[in-house]
């Protein structure tokens, strides 16, 4: 083991000869001599780390995962997995995010930069033991220090590089379903949003827009006027966002297949022949995203859709998901034939079942193909968790080449830390279950810690049928996630805002409108988080420290000014909240509601009817919002509202930029600095404006600690 000082807070320990994953951008150069602290180490074919957790230690992190914000009490496997059944007994989902923080008797962060399987037993076998098994002997382990958990997270976010920034329209509402199968269906859906006065910025296209599930092809039958429709809808403010799958259909005459074969851009089996798997298109080859040239080639393919007016994509099935492989199915037939020679009994029946059920996403398959990387031929299993990451990278590098100053929307299903620099993620195939609403809430801060700030879950749930109450409550959470998309599976009921009754439609419309009103705040906080390597959505314990906050997992901080406490149980018209300090409760029915109340520090019960949600403004903080519009392009925001809860002094920086170009990277943006001070009976509001923005006036509402309301109009 060698050690390297990355910076004053981070040390990298290099075990063996790790594969370069490109997840970290600052790795430290000169070797140093720093002891590997905290863990008992066990080196062999695998690296094992053991740590004794204190009784009250909390383990934060592991990104997209099941269970709580505190990961204690379960066992997790870092191995990107396509499993649409996110039950509490699962161990992995689609992402592999190997960063965690131990907070307790000792406080430190750990990032394990290793692209194959890692097992985290966080007090599962033995209550107080954290035992990590890295399936290999070559890995980089980073130990990250900081005064507080928040600082540790920031110090980690700094070494992995600034996160992806989507175009501003990607903060609008996105409607999706598997599928809106024809251009007529898509167009009338977009028009329906407009006619019903429900804001919407995009519609996702699922598999059916393609010709026979072929990437970068279009169905002549279902989307004969793809470009025309795309452009027409775009002129109305609704963008079309097509899906791209990892597998490339094997079909003579299909250009992508033929080019890939000719250039050797597909992953190969042990004999060097393109590996054959089956996914939606039927038999496919997988592009070798670990191969620089293949990545470049695939990335440029997005151009054919971009040329037709497309500005955003979602990349799916890139764990990669495998329904079966050709080898796997042949083995299965052989096994079944063998079973057939014997008399069927219970034993052979279960063997038969296992043969069939074991066909998808099998480890044999993941061990059965190879990549051509810069370091030579590598077995897939060794780098499994990098596949989705590199598909995201392929797309992002393609966009860069196609239009280098333009921001494209991109979100992926599989991911690894590092991919956060290239795109966002959605959390895959959840279900329309109340359990998945709370799971969504718990996942958001963990994902943020791992760098994926542009993220969100399928609002209302993907699998199974949603009821109207769950749909409303879910929207009340999702408006606070940067990626706000309603998506559902084939065979489930419709769950667009107007798929229920009048009450539900009106309620969800008001919630979506609130989201649009809030975009000035959300975007400002998003960009400040990216620029300062911070999280956007945090657990309370990242800002407050008392005996209760460390256990709160159902209230979250969104940006620096607000706390949310969504209702996540059925038939509830309220909930308990814990306030670590006095806060201003805004009970929101509509963005125009004026239902404000100062709530005292401590445990409180808050009534929240189905058409209300709670937004808490922290003490000495401000929340800025404007008027909603049909889509983000139409947001006016010449007049903004500032709602401030002030005990003595509050300060806010409202960031904005053009929302479309990459000039923010050069510092191109505007800032409105607002300071409010209260002294005895006198209040002062100072506004400093720099850079170009359209804001002309601020309608300031100050609510004092005693609940006194002061309003003032301020010119900018």
Q: Judging by beta carbons within 10 Å of its beta carbon (0-12, 13-18, 19+), is residue 430 exposed, middle or buried?
A: buried
Tokens found for residue 197: 């006065």
Tokens found for residue 205: 């296209």
What residues between 474 and 503 interact with ligand MIG by CB under 6 A?
487
Check if the beta carbon of residue 424 is closer than 8 Å to that of residue 454: yes
208 part of the interface to ligand MIG, by CB under 6 A = no
Residue of the chain from 135, 215, 429, 496 that contacts ligand MIG (CB under 6 A): 429
In the bound state with ligand MIG, the residue whose beta carbon lies nearer, of 486 and 631, is: 486
Residue 276 φ then ψ, to 5°: -105, 120
Strands 99-103 and 107-113: antiparallel
In the bound state with ligand MIG, the residue whose beta carbon lies nearer, of 58 and 317, is: 317
Check if the beta carbon of residue 420 is closer than 8 Å to that of residue 164: yes
Least CB distance to ligand MIG at residue 279 (A): 8
In the bound state with ligand MIG, the residue whose beta carbon lies nearer, of 21 and 430, is: 430
Q: Which residue is nearest to ligand MIG (CB)?
A: 178
Least CB distance to ligand MIG at residue 335 (A): 25
Q: State the sign of the Cα–Cα–Cα–Cα dihedral 265, 162, 563, 715.
A: negative
Check if the beta carbon of residue 242 is closer than 8 Å to that of residue 248: no
Residue of the chain from 316, 469, 560, 612 that contacts ligand MIG (CB under 6 A): 316
Inter-helix orientation angle 292-301/255-263, to 10°: 170
Tokens found for residue 462: 């993907």
207 part of the interface to ligand MIG, by CB under 6 A = yes
Least CB distance to ligand MIG at residue 285 (A): 18
Tokens found for residue 685: 């509001």
Residues 6+ apart with CB under 8 A from 34: 3, 5, 11
In the bound state with ligand MIG, the residue whose beta carbon lies nearer, of 371 and 487, is: 487
Least CB distance to ligand MIG at residue 471 (A): 18
In the bound state with ligand MIG, the residue whose beta carbon lies nearer, of 222 and 621, is: 222
Check if the beta carbon of residue 144 is closer than 8 Å to that of residue 178: no
Least CB distance to ligand MIG at residue 409 (A): 15
The residue among 186, 385, 391 whose CA lies nearest residue 294 is 391
Residues 6+ apart with CB under 8 A from 677: 646, 648, 649, 683, 684
In the bound state with ligand MIG, the residue whose beta carbon lies nearer, of 210 and 290, is: 210
Least CB distance to ligand MIG at residue 10 (A): 34
In the bound state with ligand MIG, the residue whose beta carbon lies nearer, of 9 and 176, is: 176
Q: What residues are labeled active site? A: 316, 319, 429
Residue of the chain from 14, 64, 201, 206 that contacts ligand MIG (CB under 6 A): 206
Least CB distance to ligand MIG at residue 245 (A): 7
Check if the beta carbon of residue 109 is closer than 8 Å to that of residue 9: no
Strands 139-144 and 107-113: antiparallel
In the bound state with ligand MIG, the residue whose beta carbon lies nearer, of 70 and 430, is: 430
202 part of the interface to ligand MIG, by CB under 6 A = no
Size of the site for ligand MIG (CB under 6 A): 10
Is the preceding omega at residue 410 within 30 degrees of 0, hence cis? Answer: no
Element spanning 173, H or E: strand 173-175
Would you give the binding string for ligand MIG spanning residues 129-168, x where CB under 6 A is met?
A: ----------------------------------------
Least CB distance to ligand MIG at residue 407 (A): 23
Least CB distance to ligand MIG at residue 312 (A): 15
Residues 6+ apart with CB under 8 A from 571: 469
Q: What share of the chain is helix, strand, coil (3-state, %, to 5)?
A: 25, 30, 45
d(C-alpha 452, C-alpha 537), whole Å: 10
What residues between 578 and 637 interact with ligand MIG by CB under 6 A?
none
In the bound state with ligand MIG, the residue whose beta carbon lies nearer, of 115 and 320, is: 320
d(C-alpha 115, C-alpha 138), whole Å: 10
Q: Please, what is the Cα angle at 710 between 708 and 716, to 5 degrees?
A: 150
In the bound state with ligand MIG, the residue whose beta carbon lies nearer, of 98 and 492, is: 492
Give strand ranges (E) for 337-402.
370-373, 376-379
| Helix extents (H) in 81-211 | 149-159, 183-195
Residue 243 φ then ψ, to 5°: -85, 145
215 part of the interface to ligand MIG, by CB under 6 A = no
What residues between 400 and 419 interact with ligand MIG by CB under 6 A?
413
Residues, the chain: 716
Number of Cβ within a 10 Å radius of residue 512? 23
In the bound state with ligand MIG, the residue whose beta carbon lies nearer, of 64 and 525, is: 64
Element spanning 644, H or E: strand 639-646
Least CB distance to ligand MIG at residue 178 (A): 4
Least CB distance to ligand MIG at residue 428 (A): 5
Least CB distance to ligand MIG at residue 315 (A): 10
The torsion of the CA quartet 664, 665, 666, 667, rounded to 10 degrees, works out to 50
Check if the beta carbon of residue 254 is closer than 8 Å to that of residue 284: no
274, β-bridge pairs: 268
In the bound state with ligand MIG, the residue whose beta carbon lies nearer, of 310 and 700, is: 310
Tokens found for residue 536: 């956007």
In the bound state with ligand MIG, the residue whose beta carbon lies nearer, of 83 and 543, is: 83
Element spanning 475, H or E: helix 468-478
The residue among 389, 244, 266, 394 whose CA lies nearest residue 316 is 244
Least CB distance to ligand MIG at residue 207 (A): 5
428 part of the interface to ligand MIG, by CB under 6 A = yes
Residue of the chain from 243, 453, 471, 629 that contacts ligand MIG (CB under 6 A): 243
- CA-based diameter of the chain, in Å? 93
Side-chain-side CA neighbours of residue 292 (13 Å): 6
Q: Which residues bind ligand MIG (CB under 6 A)?
A: 178, 206-207, 243, 316-317, 413, 428-429, 487
């Amino acid at each position: 083991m060698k050690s390297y000082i990355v910076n004053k807070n981070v040390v990298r320990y290099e075990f063996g000869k790790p594969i370069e994953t490109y997840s970290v951008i600052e790795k430290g150069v000169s070797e140093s001599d720093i002891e590997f602290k905290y863990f008992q180490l066990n080196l062999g074919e695998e690296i094992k780390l053991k740590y004794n957790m204190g009784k009250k230690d909390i383990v934060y992190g592991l990104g997209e995962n099941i269970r709580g914000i505190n990961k204690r009490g379960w066992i997790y496997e870092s191995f990107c997995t396509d499993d649409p059944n996110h039950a509490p007994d699962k161990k992995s989902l689609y992402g592999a995010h190997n960063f965690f923080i131990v907070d307790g008797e000792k406080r430190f962060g750990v990032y394990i930069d290793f692209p194959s399987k890692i097992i985290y037993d966080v007090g599962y076998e033995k209550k107080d033991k954290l035992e990590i098994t890295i399936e290999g002997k070559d890995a980089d382990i980073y130990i990250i220090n900081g005064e507080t958990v928040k600082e540790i997270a920031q110090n980690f976010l700094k070494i992995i590089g600034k996160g992806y920034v989507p175009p501003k329209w990607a903060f609008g509402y996105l409607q999706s379903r598997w599928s809106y199968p024809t251009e007529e269906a898509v167009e009338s859906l977009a028009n329906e949003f407009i006619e019903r006065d429900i804001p919407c910025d995009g519609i996702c296209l699922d598999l059916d827009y393609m010709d026979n599930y072929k990437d970068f092809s279009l169905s002549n039958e279902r989307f004969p006027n793809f470009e025309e429709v795309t452009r027409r809808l775009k002129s109305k403010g609704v963008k079309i966002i097509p899906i791209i799958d990892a597998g490339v259909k094997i079909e003579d005459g299909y250009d992508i297949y033929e080019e890939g074969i000719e250039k050797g851009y597909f992953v190969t089996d042990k004999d060097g022949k393109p590996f054959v798997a089956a996914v939606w298109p039927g038999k496919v080859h997988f592009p070798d995203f670990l191969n620089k040239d293949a990545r470049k080639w695939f990335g440029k393919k997005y151009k054919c859709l971009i040329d037709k007016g497309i500005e955003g994509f979602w990349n799916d099935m890139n764990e990669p998901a495998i329904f079966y492989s050709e080898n796997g199915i042949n083995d299965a037939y052989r096994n079944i034939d063998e079973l057939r020679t014997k008399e069927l009994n219970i034993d052979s029946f279960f063997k038969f079942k296992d043969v069939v059920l074991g066909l998808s996403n099998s480890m044999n398959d993941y061990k059965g193909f190879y990549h051509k990387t810069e370091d030579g031929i590598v077995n897939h299993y060794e780098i499994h968790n990098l596949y989705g990451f590199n598909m995201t990278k392929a797309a992002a590098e393609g966009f860069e080449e196609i239009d280098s100053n333009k921001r494209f929307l991109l979100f992926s299903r599989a991911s690894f830390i590092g991919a956060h620099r290239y795109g966002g993620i959605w959390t895959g195939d959840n279900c329309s279950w109340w359990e998945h609403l709370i799971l969504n809430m718990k996942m958001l801060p963990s994902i943020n810690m791992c760098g994926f700030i542009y993220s969100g879950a399928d609002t209302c749930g993907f699998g199974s049928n949603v009821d109207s109450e769950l749909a409303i409550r879910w929207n009340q959470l999702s408006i606070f996630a940067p990626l706000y998309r309603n998506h559902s599976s084939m065979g489930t009921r419709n769950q667009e805002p107007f798929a229920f009754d009048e009450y539900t439609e009106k309620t969800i419309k008001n919630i979506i409108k609130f989201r649009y009103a809030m975009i000035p705040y959300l975007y400002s906080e998003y960009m400040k988080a990216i620029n300062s390597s911070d999280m956007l959505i945090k657990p309370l314990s990242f800002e407050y420290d008392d005996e209760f906050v460390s256990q709160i997992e159902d209230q979250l901080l969104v940006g620096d000014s607000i706390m949310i406490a969504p209702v996540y149980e059925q038939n509830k018209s309220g909930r308990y909240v814990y306030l670590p300090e006095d806060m201003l409760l805004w009970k929101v029915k509509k963005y125009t509601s004026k239902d404000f109340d100062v709530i005292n520090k401590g445990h409180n019960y808050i009534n929240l009817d189905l058409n209300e949600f709670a937004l808490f403004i922290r003490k000495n903080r401000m929340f800025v919002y404007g008027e909603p519009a049909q889509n983000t392009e139409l947001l006016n925001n010449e007049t903004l509202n500032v709602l401030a809860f002030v005990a003595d002094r509050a300060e806010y920086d409202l960031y904005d930029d053009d929302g479309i170009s990459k000039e923010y990277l050069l510092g191109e943006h505007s800032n409105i600095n607002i300071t409010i001070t209260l002294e005895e009976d006198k209040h002062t509001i100072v506004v400093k404006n720099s850079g170009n923005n359209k804001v002309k006036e601020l309608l300031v509402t100050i609510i004092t600690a005693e609940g006194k309301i002061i309003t003032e109009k301020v010119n900018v």
